[in-house]
Amino acid sequence: MYNKKIIVILLTALLLLSCSAKSGLDIATKNGFPMLKGKAVGVVANHTAKNADGEHIVDLMHDSGIKIQAIFGPEHGFRGIEEAGELVKDNIDIKTGAPIYSLYGKISKPTPELLKGVDVLVFDIQDIGARFYTYISTMGRIMEAGAENNIPVYIFDRPNPIGRIAEGPIIEQEFYSGVGKYPIPIRHGLTVGELALMIKDKGWIESADKLDLTIVECKAWDPDKPYKAAKQSWINPSPNIRNINEALVYPGTCLFEATNFSEGRGSEKPFEWVGAPYVDSKELVAELKKRNIAGVEIEEVDFTPTCPPDAYYKPKYNDIPCHGVALTVTDPVNFKAVEFGIHFIDVLKDLYPDKFVITRPLWMHKLWGNKNAYDMFEANKSADEIIATYKQELAKFVEIREEYLLYR
């Protein structure tokens, strides 16, 4: 009987393991990086570029005999510890001896000089599925550099932690920036690999037709199930996205960056704890619940944003107590963060018309993708009216993206 129990436990463990999603890096590692043998590689990665065993892509390639010619780091740096907006210092990777260059600062795209001696470019960074998350802009620039310099580009794909849902307006070219560089909605519902295929095919980068692009696909990932079902080890993709719940609410609560309402930076739970000194938490929770937004639990919270005196970025209301709400997504597959964010702003305008302010209109335009949200809020239009403005173009995008989906 005892032996049978052991066997059942082992079989169950093996079954659970077999159901785990495998990233592109897992697949490439298992096969020994055959596409990179004999090549000098330029690696575009950060701290999230690890396989299921927690081993980093640069170490794995080096141990497999792959030559690392150069390493390029995105926002937050190669090791992912720099705060948003802080420039990353160029340095040398001790293990491989390869130079590390920042692509967030004066140089956003590898120059021919930095690519000297590079035969292949490999991109492996965990994205979270929001247009204004800067890693996909970095990916596009890498693809463009590859096309312009006749260097093949490999995208090592990873699951999109917030799934297939698409939300929000298509950004207008007038508001392109590092937080929105391609005509996609706020929440695109694509993996980086799928998005890369779309970027190339639609010609959204210079010399797209010349790009030699290969996607190293994930395996066993179901985009219609919660991210936890993929059994991926969570690695904070940036300093202020510390868990899957924050990733799920981020497409909506990031809009508060353009307002005098704290998005929770400097707190224990950025983007899921949001508030301001002028708020009555109990009142705010009650009004938000009246909107009947499905898939999220809303609770009262008090927090005080803080940061070290020498920090590059000072959060709103630094050292000032804030009152607001704590958000917990209860239905990660169906929760619509963008719609929730718009309803949230609508409630704040109703409750605090003399206190809540969109303080950075241009930033709101860039995050939202056009002027509609700001202009309509200023005109006292409802959340439903604002959401209705993008439904038609969003439906068209969802139809078009079908061609590029690798996982169903």
| Cβ atoms within 10 Å of 240's Cβ, excluding its own | 22
> Does residue 315 lie in a domain region?
yes
* Whether residue 223 is found in the same domain as residue 299: no
* Whether residue 140 is found in the same domain as residue 223: yes
Let me know: does 249 contact 241? Beta carbons within 8 Å. Answer: no
Identify the weakest region by mean pLDDT among 78-82, 286-290, 297-301, 401-405.
78-82
> Does residue 406 lie in a domain region?
no
Mean pLDDT of 10-39: 78
Instruction: Judge whether residue 74 has pLDDT over 90.
Output: no
Helical (H) or strand (E) element with 29: helix 24-31
pLDDT recorded at residue 386: 98
> Does residue 393 lie in a domain region?
no
Which of 234, 252, 284 is a domain's end point? 234
* Whether residue 67 is found in the same domain as residue 179: yes
Which of 234, 265, 289 is a domain's end point? 234
| Cβ atoms within 10 Å of 401's Cβ, excluding its own | 20
* Whether residue 134 is found in the same domain as residue 254: no
Instruction: Judge whether residue 46 has pLDDT over 60.
Output: yes
pLDDT band at 9 (very low <50, low <70, confident <90, very high): very low
Mean pLDDT of 252-262: 98
Q: What CATH number does residue 275 fall under?
A: 3.90.1150.140
Burial category of 375 from C-beta neighbours within 10 Å (exposed 0-12, middle 13-18, buried 19 and up): middle
Task: Render pLDDT for 237-249 as a digit per residue (tens, 0 to 9).
Answer: 988 999 999 999 9
> Does residue 389 lie in a domain region?
no
> Does residue 320 lie in a domain region?
yes
* Whether residue 204 is found in the same domain as residue 326: no
pLDDT recorded at residue 233: 85
> Does residue 26 lie in a domain region?
yes
pLDDT band at 15 (very low <50, low <70, confident <90, very high): very low
* Whether residue 213 is found in the same domain as residue 274: no
pLDDT recorded at residue 350: 97
Q: What CATH number does residue 56 fall under?
A: 3.40.50.12170
* Whether residue 41 is found in the same domain as residue 129: yes
Sign of CA dihedral 223, 246, 337, 139: negative
Instruction: Judge whether residue 81 has pLDDT over 90.
Output: no
**Quick one: what percent of the chain has pLDDT higher than 70?**
92
User: What DSSP state is assigned to residue 251?
Assistant: H
pLDDT band at 304 (very low <50, low <70, confident <90, very high): very high
Instruction: Judge whether residue 170 has pLDDT over 90.
Output: yes
Contacts of 71 (CB under 8 A, 6+ apart): 42, 43, 44, 45, 58, 78, 93, 96, 98, 99, 100, 101
* Whether residue 217 is found in the same domain as residue 113: yes
Contacts of 255 (CB under 8 A, 6+ apart): 341, 342, 345, 364, 367, 368, 373
Instruction: Judge whether residue 14 has pLDDT over 90.
Output: no
Instruction: Judge whether residue 398 has pLDDT over 50.
Output: yes
Model pTM score: 0.91
> Does residue 398 lie in a domain region?
no
pLDDT recorded at residue 2: 44
Mean pLDDT of 192-220: 97
Task: Render pLDDT for 346-388 as a digit per residue (tens, 0 to 9).
Answer: 999 999 999 999 999 999 999 999 999 999 999 999 999 999 9
Nearest CA to 236 out of 156, 126, 332 is that of: 126
d(CA 103, CA 98): 16
Instruction: Judge whether residue 234 has pLDDT over 50.
Output: yes
**Quick one: what percent of the chain has pLDDT higher than 90?**
83
Instruction: Judge whether residue 213 has pLDDT over 50.
Output: yes
d(CA 124, CA 77): 13
Instruction: Judge whether residue 228 has pLDDT over 70.
Output: yes
Burial category of 54 from C-beta neighbours within 10 Å (exposed 0-12, middle 13-18, buried 19 and up): exposed
d(CA 81, CA 46): 10
* Whether residue 178 is found in the same domain as residue 252: no
> Does residue 388 lie in a domain region?
no
Buried b (16+ CB within 10 A) or exposed e, 383-393: beebbeebeee
DSSP 120-148: EEEEE----SBTTSTHHHHHHHHHHHHHH
* Whether residue 55 is found in the same domain as residue 125: yes
Which of 234, 253, 287 is a domain's end point? 234
pLDDT band at 310 (very low <50, low <70, confident <90, very high): low
* Whether residue 266 is found in the same domain as residue 229: no
pLDDT band at 90 (very low <50, low <70, confident <90, very high): low
Sheet harboring 91-92: ordered strands across? 91-92, 99-102, 67-73, 40-45, 120-124, 153-156, 213-216
For residue 252, the enclosing domain spans 244-370
Task: Render pLDDT for 279-295 as a digit per residue (tens, 0 to 9).
Answer: 999 999 999 999 999 99
Instruction: Judge whether residue 75 has pLDDT over 90.
Output: no
* Whether residue 110 is found in the same domain as residue 259: no
Instruction: Judge whether residue 407 has pLDDT over 70.
Output: yes
Q: Looking at the 3D structure of the chain, how many domains does it have?
A: 2
What is the chain's alpha carbon radius of gyration, rounded to the nearest angstrom?
22
Let me know: does 254 contact 367? Beta carbons within 8 Å. Answer: yes
Instruction: Judge whether residue 32 has pLDDT over 50.
Output: yes
